Amino acid sequence: MIGASAGVGRALCEALAARGTALLLAARDAQDLDALAAHLRLVHGVEVRRVATDASVPSVCVEQIAAAASQFGQIDGLYFPIGASQPDDLGLLNAQDTLRIVNSNLTVVMAVTAHLLPQLLQQKRARIVGFGSIAAVRGRRANVVYSAAKRGLESYFESLRHLTVGSSVLVQFFRLGYVETQQSFGKRLLFPIVSPARVADYVMANADNDIGARFFPRFWAGIALAISWLPWLIFKKLNF
Protein backbone atom coordinates (compact mmCIF):
# COMPACT_ATOMS: atom_id res chain seq x y z
CA MET A 1 0.00 0.00 0.00
CA ILE A 2 1.82 3.11 -1.24
CA GLY A 3 0.35 6.16 0.51
CA ALA A 4 -1.05 4.16 3.40
CA SER A 5 -1.17 6.52 6.34
CA ALA A 6 -4.11 8.83 5.58
CA GLY A 7 -7.30 9.31 3.59
CA VAL A 8 -8.16 6.64 1.03
CA GLY A 9 -4.95 4.75 1.80
CA ARG A 10 -5.80 4.36 5.47
CA ALA A 11 -9.39 3.34 4.65
CA LEU A 12 -8.12 0.71 2.22
CA CYS A 13 -5.78 -0.65 4.88
CA GLU A 14 -8.73 -1.05 7.24
CA ALA A 15 -10.83 -2.76 4.56
CA LEU A 16 -8.07 -5.17 3.54
CA ALA A 17 -7.05 -5.98 7.10
CA ALA A 18 -10.69 -6.70 7.97
CA ARG A 19 -10.53 -9.39 5.27
CA GLY A 20 -7.43 -10.92 6.84
CA THR A 21 -4.94 -9.54 4.33
CA ALA A 22 -1.34 -9.13 5.45
CA LEU A 23 -0.11 -5.64 4.62
CA LEU A 24 3.10 -3.87 3.71
CA LEU A 25 2.53 -0.17 4.33
CA ALA A 26 4.54 2.62 2.74
CA ALA A 27 4.29 6.35 3.44
CA ARG A 28 6.56 9.21 4.44
CA ASP A 29 5.73 9.66 8.12
CA ALA A 30 7.18 6.85 10.26
CA GLN A 31 5.19 7.85 13.34
CA ASP A 32 1.87 7.69 11.47
CA LEU A 33 2.82 4.33 9.97
CA ASP A 34 3.75 2.87 13.35
CA ALA A 35 0.43 3.96 14.86
CA LEU A 36 -1.56 2.54 11.92
CA ALA A 37 0.36 -0.73 11.91
CA ALA A 38 -0.17 -1.21 15.64
CA HIS A 39 -3.89 -0.49 15.24
CA LEU A 40 -4.32 -2.97 12.39
CA ARG A 41 -2.47 -5.71 14.25
CA LEU A 42 -4.51 -5.17 17.41
CA VAL A 43 -7.95 -4.85 15.81
CA HIS A 44 -7.66 -7.31 12.91
CA GLY A 45 -4.84 -9.63 13.98
CA VAL A 46 -3.04 -9.46 10.65
CA GLU A 47 0.63 -9.26 9.82
CA VAL A 48 1.64 -5.67 9.12
CA ARG A 49 5.03 -4.32 8.16
CA ARG A 50 5.90 -0.79 7.23
CA VAL A 51 8.50 1.23 5.36
CA ALA A 52 8.89 4.97 5.80
CA THR A 53 9.91 6.41 2.46
CA ASP A 54 9.62 9.55 0.36
CA ALA A 55 7.73 9.03 -2.90
CA SER A 56 9.12 12.25 -4.32
CA VAL A 57 12.50 10.47 -4.66
CA PRO A 58 11.47 7.40 -6.68
CA SER A 59 14.87 5.70 -6.92
CA VAL A 60 15.27 5.64 -3.13
CA CYS A 61 11.61 4.80 -2.60
CA VAL A 62 11.78 1.76 -4.88
CA GLU A 63 14.97 0.55 -3.22
CA GLN A 64 13.42 0.77 0.25
CA ILE A 65 10.15 -0.85 -0.78
CA ALA A 66 11.99 -3.62 -2.62
CA ALA A 67 14.05 -4.38 0.50
CA ALA A 68 10.92 -4.50 2.66
CA ALA A 69 9.06 -6.61 0.09
CA SER A 70 11.85 -9.16 -0.04
CA GLN A 71 11.40 -9.78 3.69
CA PHE A 72 7.62 -9.64 3.56
CA GLY A 73 7.12 -12.69 1.35
CA GLN A 74 4.55 -13.09 -1.40
CA ILE A 75 3.20 -9.85 -2.87
CA ASP A 76 -0.10 -10.29 -4.71
CA GLY A 77 -1.46 -6.75 -4.75
CA LEU A 78 -0.31 -3.19 -5.30
CA TYR A 79 -2.46 -0.24 -4.24
CA PHE A 80 -1.46 3.34 -5.04
CA PRO A 81 -3.70 5.79 -3.13
CA ILE A 82 -0.87 8.30 -3.33
CA GLY A 83 -0.72 11.86 -4.50
CA ALA A 84 0.74 15.26 -3.82
CA SER A 85 -0.34 18.74 -4.80
CA GLN A 86 0.19 22.31 -3.69
CA PRO A 87 -2.06 25.38 -3.86
CA ASP A 88 0.34 27.48 -5.94
CA ASP A 89 0.42 24.96 -8.81
CA LEU A 90 -0.60 27.61 -11.34
CA GLY A 91 1.90 26.99 -14.12
CA LEU A 92 4.84 28.81 -12.50
CA LEU A 93 6.37 26.17 -10.23
CA ASN A 94 10.13 25.80 -10.09
CA ALA A 95 11.81 22.58 -11.23
CA GLN A 96 12.08 21.13 -7.72
CA ASP A 97 8.39 21.52 -6.91
CA THR A 98 7.38 20.32 -10.37
CA LEU A 99 9.42 17.16 -10.00
CA ARG A 100 8.07 16.55 -6.50
CA ILE A 101 4.50 16.57 -7.79
CA VAL A 102 5.21 14.50 -10.89
CA ASN A 103 7.30 11.97 -8.97
CA SER A 104 4.78 11.56 -6.16
CA ASN A 105 1.79 11.15 -8.48
CA LEU A 106 3.28 9.30 -11.43
CA THR A 107 6.95 8.33 -11.51
CA VAL A 108 7.00 6.42 -8.22
CA VAL A 109 3.92 4.41 -9.26
CA MET A 110 5.56 3.35 -12.52
CA ALA A 111 8.87 2.56 -10.83
CA VAL A 112 7.41 0.45 -8.01
CA THR A 113 5.13 -1.40 -10.43
CA ALA A 114 7.98 -2.13 -12.83
CA HIS A 115 10.03 -3.61 -10.01
CA LEU A 116 7.27 -5.81 -8.56
CA LEU A 117 5.33 -6.73 -11.71
CA PRO A 118 7.43 -9.85 -12.49
CA GLN A 119 6.55 -11.20 -9.04
CA LEU A 120 2.86 -10.39 -9.49
CA LEU A 121 2.77 -12.19 -12.83
CA GLN A 122 3.88 -15.38 -11.09
CA GLN A 123 0.93 -15.37 -8.68
CA LYS A 124 -2.31 -17.26 -9.33
CA ARG A 125 -4.19 -14.02 -8.75
CA ALA A 126 -2.90 -10.48 -8.34
CA ARG A 127 -4.24 -6.95 -8.46
CA ILE A 128 -2.83 -3.51 -9.26
CA VAL A 129 -5.03 -0.55 -8.33
CA GLY A 130 -4.41 3.07 -9.23
CA PHE A 131 -6.25 6.22 -8.28
CA GLY A 132 -6.72 9.20 -10.55
CA SER A 133 -8.60 12.45 -10.26
CA ILE A 134 -11.35 14.33 -12.02
CA ALA A 135 -8.76 17.11 -12.23
CA ALA A 136 -7.22 15.17 -15.13
CA VAL A 137 -10.30 15.33 -17.35
CA ARG A 138 -9.16 18.53 -19.02
CA GLY A 139 -6.21 20.87 -18.57
CA ARG A 140 -7.02 24.06 -16.70
CA ARG A 141 -5.39 27.01 -15.01
CA ALA A 142 -5.30 25.46 -11.51
CA ASN A 143 -3.36 22.36 -10.43
CA VAL A 144 -1.46 22.43 -13.71
CA VAL A 145 1.32 19.95 -12.87
CA TYR A 146 -0.89 17.77 -10.68
CA SER A 147 -3.51 17.40 -13.42
CA ALA A 148 -0.87 16.58 -16.02
CA ALA A 149 0.66 13.91 -13.76
CA LYS A 150 -2.72 12.33 -13.07
CA ARG A 151 -3.54 12.26 -16.77
CA GLY A 152 -0.22 10.57 -17.40
CA LEU A 153 -1.03 8.08 -14.64
CA GLU A 154 -4.30 7.19 -16.35
CA SER A 155 -2.46 6.56 -19.62
CA TYR A 156 0.06 4.39 -17.78
CA PHE A 157 -2.67 2.24 -16.23
CA GLU A 158 -4.32 1.80 -19.61
CA SER A 159 -0.98 0.55 -20.97
CA LEU A 160 -0.50 -1.65 -17.90
CA ARG A 161 -3.92 -3.21 -18.41
CA HIS A 162 -3.05 -3.93 -22.04
CA LEU A 163 0.34 -5.32 -21.04
CA THR A 164 -1.20 -7.83 -18.60
CA VAL A 165 -3.96 -9.15 -20.89
CA GLY A 166 -4.14 -12.93 -20.54
CA SER A 167 -2.25 -12.94 -17.25
CA SER A 168 -3.44 -13.42 -13.68
CA VAL A 169 -3.00 -9.71 -12.91
CA LEU A 170 -6.12 -7.57 -12.67
CA VAL A 171 -5.45 -3.88 -13.36
CA GLN A 172 -7.97 -1.29 -12.17
CA PHE A 173 -8.04 2.49 -12.16
CA PHE A 174 -10.46 4.62 -10.14
CA ARG A 175 -11.02 8.24 -11.17
CA LEU A 176 -12.01 9.88 -7.91
CA GLY A 177 -14.21 12.90 -7.46
CA TYR A 178 -14.21 15.01 -4.31
CA VAL A 179 -12.99 12.96 -1.34
CA GLU A 180 -13.07 14.01 2.30
CA THR A 181 -9.39 14.74 2.94
CA GLN A 182 -7.23 17.59 4.20
CA GLN A 183 -7.16 18.99 0.66
CA SER A 184 -10.94 19.33 0.52
CA PHE A 185 -11.48 20.40 4.15
CA GLY A 186 -13.27 23.72 4.46
CA LYS A 187 -13.68 24.20 0.70
CA ARG A 188 -16.98 25.15 -0.90
CA LEU A 189 -17.41 22.58 -3.65
CA LEU A 190 -20.08 22.25 -6.31
CA PHE A 191 -20.67 18.53 -5.87
CA PRO A 192 -20.96 16.10 -2.93
CA ILE A 193 -17.90 14.85 -1.11
CA VAL A 194 -17.48 11.15 -0.33
CA SER A 195 -15.64 9.67 2.61
CA PRO A 196 -12.46 7.61 2.17
CA ALA A 197 -14.36 4.67 3.66
CA ARG A 198 -16.90 4.81 0.82
CA VAL A 199 -14.09 4.77 -1.72
CA ALA A 200 -12.50 1.78 0.00
CA ASP A 201 -15.83 -0.07 0.09
CA TYR A 202 -16.29 0.50 -3.64
CA VAL A 203 -12.77 -0.70 -4.42
CA MET A 204 -13.32 -3.83 -2.33
CA ALA A 205 -16.71 -4.50 -3.92
CA ASN A 206 -14.98 -4.60 -7.31
CA ALA A 207 -12.07 -6.76 -6.21
CA ASP A 208 -12.76 -9.42 -8.85
CA ASN A 209 -14.20 -7.26 -11.62
CA ASP A 210 -12.32 -6.35 -14.77
CA ILE A 211 -13.71 -2.82 -14.83
CA GLY A 212 -10.71 -1.05 -16.32
CA ALA A 213 -11.09 2.63 -15.46
CA ARG A 214 -14.17 3.89 -13.66
CA PHE A 215 -15.33 7.12 -12.04
CA PHE A 216 -16.35 7.18 -8.39
CA PRO A 217 -18.84 8.40 -7.46
CA ARG A 218 -20.36 7.30 -10.76
CA PHE A 219 -22.12 10.62 -11.46
CA TRP A 220 -18.71 12.12 -12.26
CA ALA A 221 -18.71 10.21 -15.55
CA GLY A 222 -21.45 12.48 -16.88
CA ILE A 223 -19.78 15.61 -15.56
CA ALA A 224 -16.46 14.62 -17.08
CA LEU A 225 -18.09 13.96 -20.43
CA ALA A 226 -19.74 17.37 -20.39
CA ILE A 227 -16.48 19.11 -19.47
CA SER A 228 -14.51 17.29 -22.14
CA TRP A 229 -17.00 18.27 -24.85
CA LEU A 230 -17.31 21.92 -23.88
CA PRO A 231 -16.25 24.16 -26.79
CA TRP A 232 -13.05 26.07 -26.11
CA LEU A 233 -14.84 29.40 -26.36
CA ILE A 234 -16.90 28.42 -23.34
CA PHE A 235 -14.33 26.35 -21.46
CA LYS A 236 -11.70 29.10 -21.44
CA LYS A 237 -14.07 31.37 -19.50
CA LEU A 238 -14.48 28.92 -16.63
CA ASN A 239 -12.55 29.80 -13.49
CA PHE A 240 -11.70 26.51 -11.79
Of the candidates 145, 32, 31, the residue with the CA atom closest to the CA atom of residue 88: 145
Tell me the three state secondary structure of residue 129. Answer: strand
Give the model's pLDDT for residue 21. 95
Q: Which domain holds residue 141?
A: 7-235
pTM assigned to the model? 0.94
pLDDT on residue 1: 85
- Residues in the chain with pLDDT values less than 50: none
Residue 239 region by backbone torsions, left for phi larger than 0, else alpha for psi between -120 and 50, else beta:
beta
Chain centre distance of CA 114: 16
- Please count the structural domains in the chain: 1
Residue 32's CB is within 10 A of a number of other CB atoms, namely 17
CATH of the domain at 197: 3.40.50.720
Q: Is residue 214 part of a domain?
A: yes
User: How confident is the model over 48-100, as pLDDT tens digits?
Assistant: 999 999 999 999 999 999 999 988 888 999 999 998 999 999 999 999 999 99
Provide the pLDDT for residue 73: 81
CA angle 119, 103, 59 (to 5 degrees): 55
Res 39: pLDDT = 96
Please check whether residue 1 lies inside any domain of the structure: no
